[in-house]
Amino acid sequence: MSDSYVECLVAQKSSPVKAFFKYLLIALTVISGLAGLVFGSPILVFVAAAFGVGAYFVSLFSNVEFEYLYLDKEITVAKIYNKQRRKKVGTYELDKIEIMAPLNSWHLDSFKNRTFKEVDYSSGVAGQPEKRYLFYYNGEQKVIFEPNAELVKLARNAAPRKVFID
């Protein structure tokens, strides 16, 4: 058995809404904390602490990266939050993938009218040429991700009739 290994890291585009809430919660933390200290109100200090905890969690989930790991006919996807916490979100066997092609490929036309649960593990940025790929997994999921050329090459070598480069 040949062990092929590729690792790829892609940063998700940060949402302006999350950035807005992060800075809003930081401002509310400072304002309510100062007001609590000036007026001597323990309730305002407690509210400031709650806003601070909210700002921490919003900032934690606003910086997200996806890690793709290809190891011997298996693609594993992990989410990395704020470059500190890692969570495994999916494992996909190449044997159960129906088709894998670039997002705007004509090879995917026969799958357009089918309804699947869609999962997006990409940066969310459409590029020219399109770097994002889409695969249909086990008749259940439609997965969008953004692999590097080496990962696509290894997947194509392992399943040449399922993986298309266009």
Measured distance CA(51)–CA(30) in Å, rounded: 9
Q: Is 38's pLDDT higher than 80?
A: yes
Could you read off the pLDDT of 140-162 as tens digits, one per residue? 899 999 999 999 999 999 999 99
How many percent of the chain have pLDDT more than 90?
61
- pLDDT value at position 101? 93
- pLDDT value at position 151? 92
- pLDDT value at position 163? 93
Q: How is residue 113 written in tokens?
A: 């009218």
Predicted TM-score (pTM) of this structure: 0.80
- pLDDT value at position 48? 93
The answer to whether the CB of 155 falls within 8 A of the CB of 13 is no
Could you read off the pLDDT of 94-120 as tens digits, one per residue? 999 999 999 889 999 988 888 889 999
Where does the pLDDT of residue 1 fall: very low under 50, low under 70, confident under 90, or very high at 90 and above?
very low
Measured distance CA(8)–CA(120) in Å, rounded: 16
